[in-house]
Amino acid sequence: MPEITAALVKQLRDKTGAGMMDCKKALEEAQGDVAEAEVVLRKKGMSSAAKRTTRAAHQGQIGAYIHPGSQLGVLVEINCETDFVARTPDFTELVKDIAMHVAAADPRYLRRENVPNDVLEKEKEIARDRAKAEGKPEKVLDKIVEGRLAKFYEEVCLMEQPFIKDNTVTIEQLLKALNAKMQENIIISRFSRFKVGDAAPSS
């Protein structure tokens, strides 16, 4: 059987959008024939790049960041589809960058869907009362509240925050760019931020 080189795997991956390991296995099955390997992937339903976001992401890394002085620390879990991608420099850099971002930007939630309803209702109430106090007419209050909620999400939701190393892109856009580059489903699963003194005192 001909050697299955990284270049060959990349060629098939670029054509199909399938995961790295799936491409390698398909090429092995097709004896190194790219066209035949594409057929193999299609038969298995793995050739659509558009399906990346629905694919299971069970590999990845847990990253940590400790701020100088050891008063602030972060743990993040970022997942991808294959251990091959999890070990790449690009993925490792993403994990480090996200951990550092969480330390600096202090998000409270991952996505807007994670904001508890009571917190959201309180923010709406504050935004509406503030607009009324500013003398805004009743007919535009809903629009103002909507705008201020968008700003609230940007401040407290990790995926909507501007990236600290490049504030022209959000964390979500940063993730999408790496998704496209690596052609795998890459997601932030969870994060925790620890600051000395923030924990509730023991009773």
pLDDT the model gives residue 1 = 63
Question: What's this model's pTM, rounded to 2 decimal places?
Answer: 0.68
Q: What is the 3-state secondary structure (H, E, C) of 34-86?
A: HHHHHHHHHHCCCCCHHHHHHCCCCEEEEEEEECCCCCEEEEEEEEECCHHHH
pLDDT the model gives residue 108 = 95
pLDDT the model gives residue 8 = 85
Cα dihedral 63, 159, 104, 200, rounded to 10, equals -80
pLDDT in tens, the chain (203 residues): 678 888 888 888 777 767 778 888 889 998 888 888 888 887 776 655 445 555 667 899 999 999 999 999 999 999 999 899 999 999 999 999 999 999 999 999 999 889 999 999 999 889 888 888 888 888 888 888 888 999 999 999 999 999 999 999 999 999 988 888 888 889 999 999 999 988 754 43
Digit-coded pLDDT (tens) for 93-103: 999 999 999 99
Question: Where do the domains of the chain lie, and which CATH numbers do they carry?
Answer: 6-47 (1.10.8.10), 59-111+157-195 (3.30.479.20), 116-155 (1.10.286)
